[in-house]
Amino acid sequence: MPVPEAPVREAPEPEAAVCEVYEVVAVETSVPAAPVVRPSGPEAAAPAAALTETPGFRAPSVPGLPVPSAVARAAVTPAAGAPGGGKPRSGDPVPGLYHHPVAEPDPVRVEALSAKLKVWAMEEIELYPPEWEKDFDGFSTGRYMVACHPDAPSVDHLMLAARLMVAENAVDDCYCEDLGGSPIGLGSRLLLAHTALDPLHTTPEYQPAWEASLSSDAPRRAYHSAMEYFTRAATPSQSDRFRHDMARLHLGYLAEAAWDQADHVPEVWEYLAMRQFNNFRPCPTITDTVGAYELPAELHALPATQRVIALASNATTIVNDLYSYTKELASPGLHLNLPVVISEREGVSRKEGYLKAVEVHNELMLAFEAEAAALAVACPVPTLARFLRGVAAWVDGNHYWHQTNTYRYTLPDFW
């Protein structure tokens, strides 16, 4: 598959310590990007300035949390109900959902990205048959990625995220969901597909058979191609981070499949544990690659950073549960999502389960913003500040896409 060669990258300069004043190098990716800025000395210790240079990062005023006034943003007050009362209109947000509206994505960039992505999916890797083209278009991946990555310097950078998003959806649809998916044999399919992301290292005798398997079905072709593009643009650390997050995702798929085979409805906490793995985490954690810089591995690995990423990913996944609720009700059997699990396990009505799921989401969102603000203060490094802004922008863009994708989603009549 035609993938451009990547120029040799310079290794990042060594860093003296974590969360201290030191020079931080934003490592430039191989996709053409803006010049790298290398703040050092007093500038590196100015979190308020670093966080406010680019719109998108916001931190609520939480009692007991040391949030600089220059960084604090007014929280968006969730609406008490649907506009005008009754069922929300098409394209309205979930009533009562804590979220931050975003500007309409640049239509020129959306069109350019969508066209380039479709050529890759339909021609370069032959991902879907022609009869699935309408659903591919209806997913609106281009609008999704432009909304989620406002700091991406080019369409080529956005393509890194868009290819991976489409590939992940192909695996979910064809292996797990309604386009031929099944819980039976899922572990084997996911393991073999994962080798398209995390290559097999074997003997010369068996290498050719594995290489041939990478094109044996559409999901593996998508994974393999998308990952080739990504690794040429990302640093080795960023690529390894993404592989780890995808292993988490696949583990979550397997837990859900096991429950499906056993007709088991998990406890609410068990479901939330599964959703911490089967969630959007691989998407926001590549925000630095898409933005053409690198969050150093030791900063990404900080427990506080990991908690922020986990809370953001968990909140965005509950957004999916809420907006896809009506769509999933139409599928055969009992489709597990947070409102359904709350209803089944806590003995409440479907409406009460849904409204409580909104509350769970809101608690996760507020925790994410509070923890992100605290981390920005405790670790005043510009690269980390930019990464936190990127994750926050992804959270907002993800909600925007779910809210406005009326091709896929409608809300229940619970208000």
Highest average pLDDT, of 181-190, 193-202, 332-341, comes from 193-202
Report yes or no: 95 and 80 within 8 Å, Cβ to Cβ. yes
Q: What is the pLDDT at residue 380? A: 97
Q: What is the pLDDT at residue 331? A: 78
Half-sphere exposure of 154 (CA within 13 A, CB side): 13
User: DSSP labels for 39-77?
Assistant: --GGGGG-HHHHHHSSTT--B---TT----TTTB-PPPP
Which of these ranges, 49-58, 317-326, 335-344, 395-404, has the smallest mean pLDDT? 49-58
**Is the predicted pLDDT of residue 67 greater than 60, yes or no?**
no
**Is the predicted pLDDT of residue 374 greater than 60, yes or no?**
yes
Which pTM does this prediction carry?
Answer: 0.84
Higher pLDDT among residues 39 and 121, named by residue: 121
Comparing CA positions, the residue from 180, 179, 182, 148 lying closest to residue 165 is 148
Q: What is the pLDDT at residue 18? A: 60
Higher pLDDT among residues 8 and 302, named by residue: 302
Question: What is the CB neighbour count within 10 angstroms for residue 210?
Answer: 15
Sign of CA dihedral 81, 366, 364, 64: negative
Comparing CA positions, the residue from 162, 132, 67, 90 lying closest to residue 376 is 67
Q: How many residues comprise the chain?
A: 415
Report yes or no: 117 and 166 within 8 Å, Cβ to Cβ. yes
Q: What is the pLDDT at residue 330? A: 81
3-state SS, one letter per residue, for 338-376: HHHHHHHHHCCCHHHHHHHHHHHHHHHHHHHHHHHHHHH
**Is the predicted pLDDT of residue 52 greater than 50, yes or no?**
no
Which pLDDT band holds residue 332 (cuts at 50, 70, 90)? Answer: confident
In the three-class reduction of DSSP (H, G, I as helix; E, B as strand; rest coil), residue 236 is classed as helix
Q: Can you tell me the mean pLDDT for 213-240?
A: 97
Six token digits for residue 310: 């986990």
Comparing CA positions, the residue from 166, 391, 177, 358 lying closest to residue 287 is 391
Which pLDDT band holds residue 25 (cuts at 50, 70, 90)? Answer: very low
